[in-house]
Amino acid sequence: MSDLFPMKQVMGFGVSIILTIIAACVYFFNLSFPITMTILLVTAFIQAGLQLVVFMHAGETNDKPAIYTNIYYGLIIALVTIFGTLLCMIWGYI
């Protein structure tokens, strides 16, 4: 039976549950906006990284550089789009 439940993945699952609970704390406790956002950003990105490495086996073949470049490129461009859009439409808009 233990053959079917590798330690690495069980640990990964446990950590992601804990991170979800930490994130959910922002709802149950009254925290300031910067602290809320910090908690959410940190937990969300750790969880995403966890999925990528533990569950999606992103780094197991020769294509590792291509896969990581692709994901980081997508992530950076997506963030640029999100923050650039906010800059144009809200923050920098008079």
The dihedral of CA 61, 66, 70, 73: what is its sign?
positive
Among the listed residues 2, 17, 77, the one whose alpha carbon sits nearest the alpha carbon of residue 50: 17
Contact yes or no for 23/31 (Cβ under 8 A): no
Which phi and psi angles does 14 have, rounded to 5°?
-60, -45
Q: Is 71 in the site for other proteins (CB under 8 A)?
A: yes
**Is there binding between residue 7 and other proteins (CB under 8 A)?**
no
**What is the spatial distance between Cα 28 and Cα 46, in angstroms, rounded to a whole number?**
21
Site string for other proteins, 25-64 (x = CB under 8 A): -xx---x-x--xx--xx-xx--xx--xx-xxxxx--x-x-
- Measured from the CB of residue 50, what is the shortest distance to other proteins in angstroms? 9
Binding site for other proteins (CB under 8 A): 3-6, 9, 12-13, 16-17, 20, 23-24, 26-27, 31, 33, 36-37, 40-41, 43-44, 47-48, 51-52, 54-58, 61, 63, 66-67, 70-71, 73-75, 77-82, 84-94
